[in-house]
Amino acid sequence: MRKPGGWWRRKSTPAKVETYTRWSFHFFALAEVASVGLPLFGAMPGWLTALMLVMVIGHAGTCAVTASRALDWTRGRREQPVHMLWILGTFTFAVAVTAVAITEHGPRGEDVDTAAGGIFAVVLIFGAGVTALGVRARKRVLAIVSGFAAGAGVIAFPLGMPAPATLAAMVGVLLGAGFLAFTSIFSVWLLTAVYELDEARETRARLAVAEERLRFGRDLHDVMGRNLAVIALKSELAVQLARRGRQEAVDQMTEVQRIARETQREVRDVVRGYREADLGAELAGARGVLTAAGIDCQVTGEPSGLPAEVQSALGWVVREATTNVLRHGDAKRCEVAVRKEEGRVVLTVENDGALTASGSGGSGLAGLRERLAAVAGTLEAGPAGKGVFRLVARVPVTAAVVGGGVVGDGVGDDGVTGGGVVGGGVVGGGVVGGGVVGGGVVGGGAADDGVVGGGVADDGVVDDGVTGGGVVGGGVVA
């Protein structure tokens, strides 16, 4: 069951500003009825009170509808409400004429004159202020305010109102209408600015994504372009040599095979660099994005010195947490802390303004758990108080990731690997002679030639350092 007020928290910041602005103008209609409609009771005869009250309520309702449609027009959701502006102007003129006629030719009495005079001034002021919402040019706004003030004199003086009272009414309408028109224009300007800022933030995010795609495409082109051109050239040369029965064709195809494997390795490096996330850069980016969104972001802790695999995994946690803070709820504060304790690093992201949600989280948190599981890490996420959401990621810093497995004992200075799991195979005390992988000597045999410790490897040493099917100093590498 949704809690009261949840509809407001689910709104975006621009939508909240628009709702506030819209209901402010609706409140103006209530203020008009309360200020000049309620005082009619007891001030005029019953039939006249009913007539003027209906006219005041009708004018206030017309102002509310016109303001709502004018706001829709400023947001580009409908055409300019020209017909409503004319209806409002005509209604305002009719109510003002009726009020002056009652003052000069209706029942006598100070209460009658005060009530009718108040209606005369208020409907002109509110009519001018709301009409100003339906135009954009400053000159037109000034013309509307001046026109309503002049109209007050044109209506009042011919119907018998004394000249001093007419002048006072004109000045009052000019000041009141000018203030309300300024308030209306400023409210629309503020609403437009909020929407433009939100659109600019979305545009910046899209540009960042596009820039990253261009970078990846540029790097991939640099890697693939030259190598593919060489492969095509050497393949064509091998075809020509093979047609002539020349043995050099075998050499050319061997070179093509070597270049293809080198290209595969370079592409993996590009993709690995594209997919990995640097924790320090992600923390700085999160602080910048959240601050730009009006959220007070505090980052504590130093991520330097952590293994690359740990930084990458925690960097993705920061990315997802930042996205959740911006998308869900209405946060005003966010704290990000990185600390080391008992051989592990702990990343905590805590923010207020969180919405109450059911379930264990979306696909984003599930993806984070999978990434952290690859480095023996854990993820906890959930409410931590009223309106507070906390995400905690814990990753051991003593473990290193090799081919998807964990090396428990590490590698000594002498190159001896003891009992670690490498790509699922067991290295049972084999000695890496010289510490060179992929072109160096492993157990006395040449890795590139496929001879490892006297045994023959299926493919030699693959890019990630895993040898399939060979014997290394008596240990089996799967």
Rg, C-alpha atoms of the chain = 38
Cα 214 to Cα 296: distance, rounded to the nearest angstrom: 32
Cα 307 to Cα 83: distance, rounded to the nearest angstrom: 68
Cα 175 to Cα 182: distance, rounded to the nearest angstrom: 11
Query: Could you tell me the sign of the dihedral formed by the alpha carbons of 105, 108, 114, 116, in that order?
Result: negative
Q: Give the H/E segment covering residue 168.
A: helix 163-243
Is the pLDDT assigned to residue 22 strictly greater than 80?
A: yes
Lowest mean pLDDT among 131-135, 236-240, 290-294, 409-413: 409-413
DSSP track, 418-472: EEEEETTEEEEEEE-TTS--SSSEETTEETTTTEETTEEPSSSB-TTSPBSS-EE
Comparison of pLDDT for 182 and 411, the residue scoring more: 182
Cα 423 to Cα 411: distance, rounded to the nearest angstrom: 16
Contact criterion met (CB below 8 Å) for 262 and 299: no
Q: What is the pLDDT of residue 416?
A: 35
Lowest mean pLDDT among 236-250, 261-275, 334-348: 261-275
Is the pLDDT assigned to residue 395 strictly greater than 70?
A: yes
Cα 403 to Cα 410: distance, rounded to the nearest angstrom: 14
Cα 47 to Cα 53: distance, rounded to the nearest angstrom: 10
Q: What is the pLDDT of residue 330?
A: 77
Q: How far apart, in Å, are the Cα atoms of 380 and each of 49, 197, 357, 384?
A: 67, 34, 15, 11
Residue 298's pLDDT band, with cuts at 50, 70 and 90, is: very high
Q: What is the pLDDT of residue 379?
A: 92
Residue 338's pLDDT band, with cuts at 50, 70 and 90, is: very high
Lowest mean pLDDT among 37-41, 100-104, 170-174, 415-419: 415-419
Classify residue 189 as exposed, middle or buried by CB count within 10 Å of its CB (0-12, 13-18, 19+): exposed
Burial 163-177 (b: 16+ CB within 10 A, else e): eeebebbbebbbebb
Burial 296-321 (b: 16+ CB within 10 A, else e): ebebeeebeebbebbbbbbbbbbbbb
Other Cβ atoms less than 10 A from the Cβ of 137: the count is: 8
Is the pLDDT assigned to residue 403 strictly greater than 70?
A: no
Lowest mean pLDDT among 161-165, 192-196, 383-387: 161-165
Mean predicted confidence (pLDDT) in 53-75:
91
Q: What is the pLDDT of residue 337?
A: 94
Residue 363's pLDDT band, with cuts at 50, 70 and 90, is: low
Q: What is the pLDDT of residue 28?
A: 87
Other Cβ atoms less than 10 A from the Cβ of 138: the count is: 9
Residue 173 CA, distance from chain mean position: 45
Q: What is the pLDDT of residue 306?
A: 85
Is the pLDDT assigned to residue 384 strictly greater than 90?
A: no
Mean predicted confidence (pLDDT) in 64-85:
90
User: Would you state the structure tokens that stand for residue 41, as one six-digit string?
Assistant: 């009771």
What is the 3-class SS of 70-100, one letter each residue?
A: HHHHHCCCCCCCHHHHHHHHHHHHHHHHHHH
Lowest mean pLDDT among 85-99, 254-268, 282-296: 282-296
Residue 160 CA, distance from chain mean position: 62
